[in-house]
Amino acid sequence: MELLKTIETPKDLRKLPPEKLPQVASEMRGFILDTVSKLGGHLASSLGSADITVALHYVFDTPKDRLVWDTGHQTYGHKVLTGRRDALSRVRQFGGISGFLKRAESEYDAFGAGHASTAISAALGMAVARDLKGEKNKVVAIVSDGCMTGGESYEGLQNAGQVQTDLIVVLNDNQMFISNRVGAWGAFLSKLLTLGAVRNAEHSVKQFLARFQFWGSVILRVAKRAKVLLFPGMLFEEMGFSYFGPVDGHDVQQLVKVFQHVKQLKGPILVHCVTKKGKGYAPAEADQYTWHGPGKFDVATGKFLKSPTAKVPPQSYTAVFSKAIVDEADADPRIVGITAAMPEGTGMDAFRDRFPNRYFDVGLAEEHAVTFAAGLACEGYKPVVAIYSTFLQRGYDQIEHDVCLQKLPVVFCLDRAGLVGEDGPTHHGVFDYSYLRMIPGMTVMAPADENELRHMLRTAIRFDGPVSIRYPRGAGVGLAPDAVSRELPIGKGALLKDGSDVTILAIGNRVHPALEAAQILEDKGISCAVANMRFVKPLDLELLRERAAKTPRLVTVEDNVLTGGFGSAVLEALPAGRTEVLRLGLPDDFVPHGAPHLLYDAMGLSAAKIAERVAAWMPAGAKSLI
């Protein structure tokens, strides 16, 4: 009998005897596999967390008891068990459910999560609020080992240890593998502490502590000197937590016993569960990076599916950056590469392989990455910090205080700028023009295409000051690369097409859609010029004034929020009231998830929609476009 189909809410799950739970976890893995194979999306993390998910919802009285997940990669099973099983067929699709946690989507999503390392702090806040209200519900934070490299996780742990309220942290550690050889001492600890499988081998502890890049090695050295290297819980015990583990994170019945036990205890508790990312699907177990977020694939063969008529796409911006940074570093030994736990996602993996001594992955610690780069710049190096636009927001204070205030030559390369697609509002990089433009001394540039990205990288590296370059996810427009990268003049744009009725001032990946829109307008009798402005800061004031003098109307186009963005910069630079300006960009709201082309069209920023909006704004005579 299939059990998963009988579970609409966790209350249905709790009606089952414990011996049926492994079947539920297995069916859930199969369901997630089948669903993701048809859509693409996050896979390996949800397969690895299936048993923990079942055990948590079985033991705790959700949603009254709060489950606070760190990021959403591991929560497809959580969605399946909380009334969204059928809705998972449209996960991450335009109009469908989110791939992450979203409070507005379900009462079971206690806290929204897209960025990492937030769960412990949020859960502690909920636990303290519970105490203030005199309530008795439990609060559980589920954190992956990767999220523990972020400073906020450490801050939350130390505060929880200080407050000493009832809080359970489940560490889903998928970087250690469970040993079958648990000796007598391990059996003793198992019975005494966790009722589960304890592994206290020194090699395992070394592996565990190595995951915590800033303080793991220090703890390891101290422990070795003190001869007290018994189990990794030493670290958490010192922070005020009662430590339980390591526990086999794929033994769901054992997990139930452990959670039932710790549920009765007081104070902050950490349960260390050892899991395997991609559990239950051999290709995902063997290659966890590829299967973290795969495209469509055949479950039986593990082969990725491609449309038989699909053309080979142009190189991605990430791939172009990856090659360009290696080329620049070949010629300049001062260049140092830095990323925050995303070498492949940012294209820094090639730099890592070519220059291992000049490459630094700081973990999910964007604040540290920025100030670390500032220190390198102080000593004459040229640090290139490659971080997704949305994640660099977490290092904002450090950009302002540690880099720009001191006028240090740090290059920020912001991948995933603009509307990134199915990952949705937590990942859209649509605020960076605004949050960087306001900082004195920052140069903000955006390439129109992948070829211009190469030139901007060279320009930024050779510029003596802080610079940001932002570029989108996915394929470029397909331009053939220039033979040699060249420096661009700072603060200078380029007129791509002349016209007399209106000028579209475009920036970044909206330049080519603006050119297409101009052609649509030309076909309808509107003479439309297009300028690739290249720089949000400093603006090309000469080009701006020239176009304002030649055409009575200006249109700005950007895939950033309008508030404080490129269009705002243009308005600020023009004499008040002398030129009519239409600003096209993103609204003062969070854009939902969906395929990028659908989102750009819905936001009025596709070529066709740009043309419609310009035509509607123009004087009578071009209304046939509406």
Q: Which residues are catalytic?
A: 277, 366, 394
The Cβ-side half-sphere exposure at 88, using a 13 Å CA radius, reads 28
Residues sharing a CB contact under 8 Å with residue 105, sequence separation 6 or more, in sequence order: 84, 97, 98
Q: Across the chain, which distance is largest between two alpha carbons, in Å?
A: 88
Residues sharing a CB contact under 8 Å with residue 222, sequence separation 6 or more, in sequence order: none
**Cα–Cα distance between 420 and 221 in angstroms, integer?**
42
Backbone angles phi, psi at 474, to 5 degrees: 90, -165
Q: Which helix (H) or strand (E) holds 69?
A: strand 66-69
**Cα–Cα distance between 545 and 102 in angstroms, integer?**
45
**Cα–Cα distance between 614 and 606 in angstroms, integer?**
12
3-state secondary structure of 625: helix
Residues sharing a CB contact under 8 Å with residue 436, sequence separation 6 or more, in sequence order: 399, 412, 442, 444, 468, 537
CB of 552 within 8 A of CB of 567? no
DSSP-derived secondary structure for 172-204: EE-SS---S---HHHHHHIIIIISS-----HHH
The Cβ-side half-sphere exposure at 605, using a 13 Å CA radius, reads 27
**Cα–Cα distance between 344 and 347 in angstroms, integer?**
5
Q: Is 23 exposed, middle or buried (0-12, 13-18, 19+ CB in 10 A)?
A: middle
